[in-house]
Amino acid sequence: MSTRTRRQPLDPVTFELVHAALLAAAEEMGGVLKRSSYSPIIRDMEDFSCAIFMAGGDLVAQADFIPAQLGAMSLVVKAILERWDGEIRDGDVYLANHPFLGAMHTPDLNVIAPVFVDGRLFAWTGTTAHHLDVGGVNPGTEGPALEQVYAEGLVLAPVRLYRAGEENPDVFTILTENIRDPLSTISDLRAQRAACLLGRRRLEEAIARWGTPIIEVAFRQALDSAERATRLGLSDLPDGAVEAEGFMDDDGRDGPPTRIHVKLSKRGDRLTVDLSGSAPQVAGALNVPWASTRASIMYCIRALVDPHMASNDGILRAIEIVCPLGNVFNPRPPAAVSVRHNTCLRLVDTLFLAASEIWPEKAVGASSLAFFAINLESTSPVTGRHSVMSDVVGGGTGAHLAGDGIDGVDTYLANVGLMPVEVAEANYSVRVVRTELIAGSQGVGTFSGGMGIRRDYLILEHAHRATFYAEQTKPEFRPRGARGGGDAQPTKVSLFDPDGNPVGISAKVSTTLQPGSVVRIETSGGGGYGSPDRRDPELARADREDGRLPG
């Protein structure tokens, strides 16, 4: 095929077939990772993503697993190219988690593999997955009160995990000696590499079917298609400019609330997202590295323009992001970032609030931003092996023009499953005493928000070092209703000593829990939509019969 022919766009049928094959490969990579991983946070809770990239690093196909990782991995691939250009070899596999070199936070380990065709770099396959522990001050690595990224475990600029197909023993040794649960981490890294190899095989099969030039054109066309869909979607919406603000409960260290401010300006087929009015970077670990800021905005664009569009870097071509260095969404190193997801959720919530002022038909009740996360240094009750437990508890989503919110899910950017009780109790010295939806936690309205979750963790056998944190514990920052809908209840974190007495404690803390202690989380629900007086009588009757209302 000539160079001129290669530059011509593919016919629609061929493009859709090739593009579908790329997306299917990314999905299948996720299946391999999920089924071959060791840790519950990957295997059961599905905190991972898989993608395929062009040779230059642009993301062309990503499976929809965790929206918080949309479009983020391409920055890691480009960091690999910048650091290792000229030395990349077939069979190499790179490992990276440096938040200031394209990654998100240190527990999210990126495993990226080059794909060579006829001796030249043709593409990349990659995965990112949340690992139970990568060292650092706290079990589970995260800590809202941490002040520098150096306290957040191993910080890995792109390094070669495999060299020419063989494990790099130096890197594996460093990992093994610096993390609390090396069996889990090393096993999960091997599972990530297996997923990359599967992605490579599927790419090779696509090349065998259509040829290298066709695949290269499809790569470029996938980016162009996503850009075009974004611009068309924006063109269909009215122009306008609006500002909105929201607040974090604190700065991660019991300091003052952290201001999140956005300004949206939409003109024609372009959108400018200005975050420069947000707080400067904070003392604690609520700062957001650039990869997560981009991913948050990409998520919002997809939700507002077309939730069904494919995820790739073409979406961002229609978006301008304004955010100065030193901002909480673009911090200077070595700022701590391990709890950045809570800040990302508030950013998304504030972006939707702003968008509803320009496009009222897209207004929604606010969702829970609680994102309660708990990390415990524990032991297996079966083997006695040292382990780290990590669980995440969601809340309710906001109601909207088309119906009620959803009960008890990880909202907005997150899509992490609640750890099954059987998995928690079989792997850790913890008993989940109860898990239930909270009647009345939601805002009521013509359509009502989803309910939050109450979950109790009983510490068994021995003292556990623990870190846990949550947002929206201050009533003034609770999830708000939209268009006359009621507000949801705030989040509440409680601790009880072995005798059942309540212990005063912050909602963000690292501490030691004695056996018999109970940690209780009650997450916020979602805001309502529309006046409660206009709720369908049948829905109101079902609310009472199903016990969705208090009393």
- Domain for residue 505, yes or no? yes
Mean pLDDT of 263-277: 97
pLDDT for 378 equals 95
pLDDT for 3 equals 39
Hey, CA dihedral for 340, 342, 344, 347, is it positive or negative?
negative
pLDDT at residue 4 tops 50: no
Last residue of a domain, one of 208, 227, 246: 227
> Do the Cβ atoms of 366 and 353 come closer than 8 Å?
yes
Three-state DSSP class for 458?
A: strand
Q: Which two tokens stand for residue 89?
A: 């070899």
Three-state DSSP class for 140?
A: coil
- Domain for residue 193, yes or no? yes
Last residue of a domain, one of 227, 250, 265: 227
pTM: 0.95
Mean pLDDT of 101-117: 97
- Domain for residue 481, yes or no? yes
> Do the Cβ atoms of 263 and 277 come closer than 8 Å?
yes
Mean pLDDT of 141-162: 97
Mean pLDDT of 73-86: 96
Question: Poorest-confidence range of 2-16, 207-221, 375-389, 489-503?
Answer: 2-16
What is the band of 188 on the pLDDT scale with cuts at 50, 70, 90?
Answer: very high
> Do the Cβ atoms of 94 and 112 come closer than 8 Å?
yes
Cβ count within 10 A of residue 470: 28
User: Helix/strand/coil (H, E, C) string of 485-509?
Assistant: CCCCCCCEEEEECCCCCEECCCCEE
Q: Which two tokens stand for residue 441?
A: 């936690």
Q: Rounded CA gap, 248 and 257, in Å?
A: 5
β-bridge mates for residue 261, sequence order = 245
- Domain for residue 542, yes or no? yes
Q: Rounded CA gap, 259 and 266, in Å?
A: 23
Last residue of a domain, one of 227, 260, 282: 227
Mean pLDDT of 89-101: 97
What is the band of 91 on the pLDDT scale with cuts at 50, 70, 90?
Answer: very high
Q: Which two tokens stand for residue 533?
A: 């007086």
Q: Rounded CA gap, 396 and 368, in Å?
A: 6
pLDDT for 500 equals 95
Q: Rounded CA gap, 1 and 7, in Å?
A: 10
Quote the DSSP letter at residue 105: -
Please give the C-alpha separations between residue 9 and each of 170, 218, 225, 269, 335, in angstroms, as whole numbers: 46, 8, 11, 22, 45
- Domain for residue 12, yes or no? yes
pLDDT at residue 5 tops 70: no
- Domain for residue 440, yes or no? yes
| pLDDT tens profile 391-434 | 999 999 999 999 999 999 999 988 888 999 999 999 999 999 99
Three-state DSSP class for 50?
A: strand
Mean pLDDT of 231-251: 96
Instruction: Say what percent of the chain tops pLDDT 70.
Output: 99
Q: Rounded CA gap, 16 and 224, in Å?
A: 13
Q: Which two tokens stand for residue 278?
A: 């947000």
> Do the Cβ atoms of 466 and 503 come closer than 8 Å?
no
- DSSP string over 168-207: -HHHHHHHHHHSS-HHHHHHHHHHHHHHHHHHHHHHHHHH
Q: Which domain holds residue 488?
A: 363-551
What is the band of 47 on the pLDDT scale with cuts at 50, 70, 90?
Answer: very high
pLDDT for 64 equals 84
pLDDT at residue 487 tops 90: yes
- Domain for residue 348, yes or no? no
Task: Cite the beta strand spans of 268-324 per DSSP E.
Answer: 270-274, 319-322
Distance of CA 301 to the CA centre of its chain: 16
β-bridge mates for residue 271, sequence order = 266, 319
What is the band of 65 on the pLDDT scale with cuts at 50, 70, 90?
Answer: confident
Q: Rounded CA gap, 504 and 253, in Å?
A: 16
pLDDT for 550 equals 87
pLDDT for 7 equals 66
What is the band of 6 on the pLDDT scale with cuts at 50, 70, 90?
Answer: low
| pLDDT tens profile 502-547 | 999 999 999 999 999 999 999 999 999 999 999 999 999 999 999 9
pLDDT at residue 499 tops 60: yes
Number of separate domains in the chain: 2
Residues 223 and 367 in one domain: no
Cβ count within 10 A of residue 319: 18
Please give the C-alpha separations between residue 256 and each of 111, 247, 260, 377, 383, in angstroms, as whole numbers: 37, 10, 13, 30, 44
What is the band of 69 on the pLDDT scale with cuts at 50, 70, 90?
Answer: confident
> Do the Cβ atoms of 368 and 396 come closer than 8 Å?
yes
